[in-house]
C-alpha cells in the first residue's frame, strides 16, 4: 500500500481544527487504499499548549522554527519516508488525493495536478484553475497546490523551496520550477481541490506594489534560467 504524508503548515487559525479533522476523515475513508498520515506543522511563534487534539508533526517543533509555511513543509519533507507528499492548507478542504495518486501510478509521472475551484465565504463560486502547467503559469498561478500530489523523490531534484524563494509565493514558484525542470507530470481533467480566498491569507496580505515587483523580478530570473525569457 502506498503511503502519503499530508503536511499542514499553520499559525493556529481557527480554521485549522476543522481542516485537520476533514483530512483525518479522508485518511480513515481511504485506509483500504492509501496509508495517509496527517501532520500539522506549527510555526515557530505559535503557542501549541492547547493543540494536543491536533495531529502534530512529531519533531518539526524541536528541529526547526520558522514563520514561513513553505520552509516548514520543506523541513517536513526532508524527514518524510512516505511515497507521496501533499501540502494541506489550514483553511481549505482536502483534495481528492486518491484520484491524483492513481493518476501518477497509472502514468509513472513524478507529480499530478488537477482543476481547483476558487471560493470565498459570502461570495458566488469563483474561477476554476486549470491545474495545467503551461505558459500561462508565468503570469498567473494556474496550478494551485490545493490540487497537487507529488512523489517524495521529486524533491531530491527540485527542492520544495529555495533560499531565494519569496515566502508568500512559494507555491506558485514551485509549480514554475517543476514545469521548467521537465519532471514527468500528469494532469487530471476534473476538480480535485478547492482554494479559499482568505482575506487574512499570506498572499492577500502581501498584495502590495513592492511585493509585486519583488515577485516579478523573481519570475524573470526563473524564466531566464529556464530559457523562457521570451515569456516575460
Condensed to tens digits (0 to 9), the pLDDT of residues 85-121 reads: 999 999 999 999 999 999 999 998 999 999 999 887 6
Q: What is the pLDDT of residue 229?
A: 38
Domain housing 201: 2-231
Pairwise CA distance, residues 85 & 97, whole Å:
10
Pairwise CA distance, residues 186 & 232, whole Å:
25
pTM: 0.86
In the chain, what percentage of residues exceed pLDDT 70?
Answer: 78
Pairwise CA distance, residues 106 & 215, whole Å:
35
Grid coordinates representing 130 are 486549470
In the chain, what percentage of residues exceed pLDDT 90?
Answer: 51
79 sits in which H/E element: helix 69-79
How many structural domains are present in the chain? 1
Closest among 116, 56, 45 to 90, alpha carbons compared? 56
Mean pLDDT in residue range 53-69: 75
pLDDT averaged over every residue in the chain: 84
Q: How does pLDDT run across 186-214, given as a tens digit for each residue?
A: 999 999 999 887 655 544 445 566 566 76
27 sits in which H/E element: helix 16-29
Residue 131 has pLDDT above 90, yes or no: yes
Pairwise CA distance, residues 189 & 180, whole Å:
21
Mean pLDDT in residue range 34-45: 90
Pairwise CA distance, residues 55 & 19, whole Å:
11
Q: What is the pLDDT of residue 228?
A: 42
Give the CATH number, domain containing residue 148: 3.90.550.10
113-122, 129-138, 197-206, 219-228, range with the lowest pLDDT? 197-206
Residue 168 has pLDDT above 80, yes or no: no
Backbone torsions φ then ψ of 111, nearest 5 degrees: -155, 155
Q: Determine the straight-line distance between the first and last CA of the chain, rounded to whole angstroms.
A: 43
Distance of CA 171 to the CA centre of its chain: 6
Instruction: Please enumerate in sequence order all residues whose Cβ is within 8 A of that of 72, keeping only pairs 6 or more positions apart, or say none.
Output: 7, 9, 41, 43, 60, 64, 66
Amino acid at each position: 500500500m502506498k503511503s502519503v504524508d499530508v503536511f499542514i503548515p499553520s499559525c493556529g487559525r481557527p480554521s485549522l481544527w476543522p481542516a485537520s479533522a476533514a483530512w483525518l476523515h479522508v485518511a480513515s475513508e481511504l485506509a483500504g487504499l492509501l496509508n495517509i498520515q496527517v501532520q500539522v506543522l506549527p510555526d515557530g511563534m505559535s503557542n501549541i499548549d492547547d493543540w494536543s487534539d491536533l495531529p502534530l508533526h512529531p519533531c518539526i517543533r524541536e528541529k526547526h522554527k520558522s514563520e514561513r509555511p513553505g520552509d516548514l513543509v520543506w523541513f517536513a519533507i526532508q524527514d518524510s519516508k512516505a511515497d507521496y507528499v501533499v501540502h494541506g492548507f489550514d483553511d481549505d478542504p482536502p483534495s481528492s488525493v486518491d484520484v491524483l495518486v492513481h493518476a501518477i501510478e497509472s502514468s509513472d509521472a513524478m507529480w499530478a495536478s488537477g482543476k481547483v475551484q476558487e471560493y470565498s465565504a459570502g461570495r458566488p463560486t469563483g474561477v476554476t484553475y486549470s491545474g495545467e502547467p503551461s505558459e500561462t503559469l508565468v503570469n498567473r498561478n494556474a496550478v494551485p497546490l490545493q490540487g497537487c500530489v507529488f512523489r517524495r523523490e521529486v524533491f531530491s531534484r527540485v527542492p520544495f523551496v529555495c533560499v531565494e524563494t519569496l515566502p508568500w509565493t512559494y507555491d506558485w514558484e514551485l509549480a514554475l520550477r517543476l514545469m521548467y525542470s521537465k519532471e514527468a507530470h500528469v494532469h487530471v481533467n476534473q476538480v480535485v481541490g478547492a482554494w479559499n480566498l482568505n482575506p487574512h491569507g499570506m498572499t492577500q496580505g502581501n498584495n502590495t506594489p513592492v511585493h509585486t515587483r519583488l515577485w516579478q523580478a523573481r519570475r524573470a530570473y526563473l524564466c531566464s534560467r529556464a530559457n523562457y525569457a521570451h515569456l516575460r
